[in-house]
Structure formats: C-alpha cells, structure tokens
Amino acid sequence: MSDRPDPGSRRSPHLASRLQGLGTTIFAEMSALAEATGSVNLGQGFPDTDGPPEVAEAAVLAIRSGRNQYPPGAGIPELRLAVAEHRLRFYGQALDSDTEVLVTAGATEALTAALLALCETGDEVIVAEPYYDSYPAAAARAGARLRAVPLRPPSWDLDLDALADAVTPRTRLVLVNSPHNPTGRVLRDRELAAIAEICVRHDLLAVTDEVYEHLVYDGRHRPLALYPGMAERTLSVSSAGKTFSFTGWKVGWACGPAPLVAAVRTVKQFLTYVNGAPFQPAVAVALGMPDGYFAAAAAALRQQRDRLCTGLEGLGFGVCLPEAGYFALGDAAPLGVGDAARFCRELPGRVGVVAIPVSAFSEQRPDVASFVRFAFCKRLEVLDEALGRLAGLQGPPAGSPGMTAAPTGPVER
Ligand code: PMP
Ligand code: GLN
C-alpha cells in the first residue's frame, strides 16, 4: 500500500533494524479502514457469528468456577489430552499429551516460538509464497531468512522445481501452510510427498500451520507429519480460532516429537508464559465435539464460499474456487485492474467494501498483483450486501450517496 500516508510503511525511528518495514498488519489496517468508512469488512478473517454455545458456556463456567489464575506452562492437562485425542481421532497420530503437546497463545505464538527456538541467525526457512503475514515477522525476529517458493496462479500449484532449488546449506526448516491462506489451496498428496522427501533427504525440520484443517470443502487435509520420515521431524501447529469460530480466544497448540516441543516451550514460556486460562477448558470441550459439528461447520462455510464466489464471478472477477479456509481470491484483471493494492485502497471509498490485496502476502510478484482476497466467513446477508455494493463498481463512482450502513453482527469490531 504505497502512495498513501501509511503508518505501516514508514521507517520507525525506534524500531530495531531487523524489524524495520513490518509496520502495522494489513488486517488491523484494513479493519480500521472498514470501521472508519462504514464498509462491509471482507478483509480480516473473522466470522461474524459466534461458535457453539456449549463451548462459550464452558468458558463462562470456567470463569465462574475460578479457573482464572495461571494455568500450567504447557497448558492444562485436559486440553493437552484433548489435542492428543483430536490428532488420534482425525489423523491416527498418537501423541503423548505430557511431552508432545504444548498449548500456545494462538497459532501465531506457536509459529513464532518455533522459529525463535529452532533457527540460528542466518538460517533459512523455506515457505510457499504468498504467505501469511506473521511468517516474515517471526523470521525477522529469529534472524532467519525466508526462501519463498511460488504458488502460481491460476491453479496456485506449488512449483516443485523451485522447491528443490530453494534448499541451500543454510536451510533449517520448511514452513508449510495447508490449507493455505490466502489461496484456499489444500496441498495435494504429490506436493506434500515432495516436501517430505526433501525434508528427509536434506535432514530438515518441518513446521506446519494447519489452522484451517477442518474447513475443507474439496479434497481432504492430510498432515505432513503422517508422511514417511516426517513424524520425527515435524512440529504441527493449529488453533481453535477458525475451527470453532472463536478467533479472539487465541488458544492454539504445537505438537510433535518431545524434543521439538520442549525447544518451543522454552521460548514460549518467556513470550507469554501462559494464556487464556478459562478458555483452555472450553477448547478442550470443543475439540471433543462430535464429528457432526466439524462437518456442519465446513458445510456452512462451503455455502458462504459458494455465495461469494458465484457473486464475484457474476461481477467479472476471475475466481479460483478455494478448496478450504475463509478466503476466496478474485482476479480483478478482467475488470481492468492491474494493481490490486491500489484497488483495495480505493474500494471502501468507491463502494463501501474492504478486501485485502494478495500483494500483502508476497514480495514483488507481478503475477499476483491483480488478485484480491475476500473473506467469506460472514453471514449470507452480509455477503449479499457486499456483492450488491461491489456491483456499484460498474455504476457511479466514489462516495455516491445512498450507501447503507454495513450490517453488523453479534461480534463487534
Ligand atoms: N496461520 C494462518 C494461515 C492464519 O490465517 C492465521 C489467522 N488466524 C493464523 C495462523 C493465526 O492463528 P491464531 O489466531 O490462532 O494465532
Ligand atoms: N488470519 C487472519 C487473516 O488472514 C487475520 C488474523 C490477524 O489479524 N492477525 O485475515
């Protein structure tokens, strides 16, 4: 977002040099813009309805029954057990909940602590690009360097030749996000197998980001840890936020071999020590929900995905139907847009909708410059309102009168 006064892009006189340029996250920036302009916020990925009432009640009960002091550093035993049972139930992965599971402040802390714990200064971390915005920030803090391997539009397949070429003597680990934000891709078996083969051949570690593991609409999620040779070298990270629609609770976890978990725990204890005491028992309840809950959550989001994607296609965007997650990418090139960053900056003023340019998830990549990320984890009427407003792109320009207030949900932003 270049030619606008932007606190995020200015050099800060006080910020350490290794963190210069990180600025304000695109999600915070765009949610603030949505609020300021009364726009429908299809930017930051948070649902506008709450998760299961019985899970919310479990948190209320935990607060009322005094579970409000520091929990154990690794997380409460019942949640660690629930995480281990969840991995066994869905993936057949057996874990010792005492030594192989660590509760964290969301997936973000787990991923950051992992990079801090596992990387020496100057180490390289291979990652598919576009990538989630906390990865470069975590790498910068660890003094590590990201080596990006492109996911190429329109299929967003992983470039396996580039993956093989990305390995250097400094490569320490591969950071794998599947299901993927922002593309909505679920890595194929051949892609995961190629990653696993490279990790084993070069004796690399893997850290996975599986926060969208249950929100899969086409295909299926298969953890990298299940591939041959990977269980002993993979730290798997996930979180309750997306699966249970409680993104603000920030309860996540890392699991895998005890030595990897212990290394991450060492760092984690000096980042937050612990978090979310009353939310931890509630997430334990959530992880034990019947299969029907997980299927229904995905089915509801699939309907939202379809509503948004059909609408965007009708408006002329090039849409690649996401297989998973919260987000759909629209190529605005057919609308004559070459610079999605500029387009997204102008969109709130023009029609009252906020979305995120895919360029926010990548370095200079001309092939992704016209792509826009829209969140579909919103009620159908909110998606319809957004689509109605986007239809105005074809009509009268910026700030025209008659714009209605954005529908707001029970979750205040
Ligand atoms: N990884 C990805 C790919 C994400 O989209 C997000 C956003 N939820 C996170 C990690 C962060 O998850 P949490 O809120 O649990 O820290
Ligand atoms: N993961 C969310 C997204 O991609 C944002 C979470 C955040 O704002 N840190 O929109």
Residue nearest (by alpha carbon) to ligand 2 atom 1:
45
pLDDT tier, 285 (very low <50, low <70, confident <90, very high otherwise): very high
Mean pLDDT score, 1-29: 73
Q: Which of 245, 275, 290 is the last residue of a domain?
A: 290
| 235 belongs to a structural domain | yes
Residues 115/262, Cβ–Cβ less than 8 Å = no
**Is it the case that residue 410 has pLDDT exceeding 90?**
no
Q: In the predicted model, is pLDDT for residue 18 greater than 60?
A: yes
Cα 406 to averaged position of ligand 2 atoms, centre (Å): 20
Domain count, the chain: 2
Residues 60 and 128 in one domain: yes
pLDDT in tens, 334-361: 999 999 999 999 999 999 999 999 999 9
pLDDT digits (tens, 9 = 90+) for 182-195: 999 999 999 999 99
Domain shared by 29 and 60, yes or no: no
Best probe residue, ligand 2, of 24, 25, 42, 46 (max atoms within 8 Å of C-beta): 46
Task: Indicate whether residue 90 lines ligand 2 (CB < 6 A).
Answer: no
Domain membership flag for residue 375: yes
Last residue of a domain, one of 290, 314, 332: 290
What's residue 406's pLDDT? Answer: 44
Q: End of a domain among 260, 290, 320?
A: 290
State the distance from the centre of ligand 1 to the C-alpha of 45, rounded, in angstroms.
Answer: 9
What is the side-by-side order of every strand in the sheet holding 371-375? Answer: 318-320, 327-331, 371-375, 356-357
- The CATH number of residue 351's host domain is 3.90.1150.10
Minimum CA distance residue for ligand 1 atom 15 = 106
Residue 267 sits in the same domain as residue 297:
no
Cβ-Cβ contacts under 8 Å for 228 (sequence gap 6 or more): 196, 200
Give the whole-number percent of the chain exceeding pLDDT 70. Answer: 93
- Asked if the structure places residue 413 within a domain, the reply is no
Comparison of pLDDT for 401 and 138, the residue scoring more: 138
Residue at 10 is within a domain: no
What digits encode the pLDDT tens for the residues 23-47? 889 999 899 999 999 999 999 999 9
Question: For atom 12 of ligand 1, which residue has the closest CA?
Answer: 107
> Is residue 94 located within the same domain as residue 232?
yes
Is residue 26 in a domain?
A: yes
Domain range enclosing 316: 17-50+292-403
Task: Tell me what pLDDT residue 23 has.
Answer: 84
**Maximum distance among all Cα pairs of the chain, rounded to whole angstroms:** 62
On whether both 30 and 158 belong to a single domain, the answer is no
Q: Which ligand ends up closest to the CA of 29?
A: 2
Closest residue to atom 9 of ligand 2, CA basis? 27
Q: Is the same domain home to 306 and 273?
A: no
Q: How many CB atoms lie within 10 A of CB 28?
A: 13
What is the rounded CA–CA span in Å between residue 148 and residue 153?
15
Higher pLDDT, 1 or 292: 292
DSSP bridge pairs for 356: 373
Could you tell me the pLDDT band of residue 12, with boundaries at 50, 70 and 90? confident
Mean pLDDT of the chain: 93
Calculate how far, in angstroms, residue 370's C-alpha sits from the geometric centre of ligand 2.
21
For ligand 2, whether the C-beta of 181 sits within 6 Å is yes
pLDDT exceeds 80 at position 404: no
pLDDT at 386: 98
Q: Count of CB atoms within 10 A of residue 57's CB?
A: 12
**Which residues in 257-292 are b (16+ Cβ under 10 Å) and which e?**
beebbebbbebbeeeeebbbbbbbbbbbbbbebeee
**40 & 166 share domain:** no
Residue 413 is predicted with a pLDDT of: 24
CATH number at residue 170: 3.40.640.10
Q: Decide: 385 in ligand 1 pocket, CB within 6 A.
A: no
Cβ of 45 below 6 Å from ligand 2:
yes
228 CA to middle of ligand 2, Å?
Answer: 32
**Which distant-in-sequence residues (6+ apart) come within 8 Å of 213 by Cβ?**
90, 179, 221, 223, 238, 243
**Domain match, 266 and 153 both:** yes
Query: What's the pLDDT score for residue 125?
Result: 98
Q: Ligand 1 in contact with 177 (CB < 6 A)?
A: yes
Residues 124 and 63 in one domain: yes
**Considering the domain boundaries, does residue 244 fall inside one?**
yes
Arithmetic mean of pLDDT, 160-177: 98
When pLDDT is averaged across residues 375-379 and rounded to a whole number, the result is 98
Q: How far apart are CA 61 and CA 352, in angstroms?
A: 40
Q: Are strands 327-331 and 356-357 parallel, antiparallel or unpaired?
A: unpaired
Same domain, 80 and 27: no
Q: What is the pTM of this model?
A: 0.93
Q: Looking at the structure, do residues 162 and 175 belong to the same domain, yes or no? A: yes
Is 12 a member of any domain?
no
Please check whether residues 163 and 187 belong to one and the same domain: yes
312-335 tens-digit pLDDT: 999 999 999 999 999 999 999 999
Q: Is there a domain that residue 7 lies in?
A: no
- Identify which of 176, 168, 164 has the alpha carbon closest to the alpha carbon of residue 122: 168
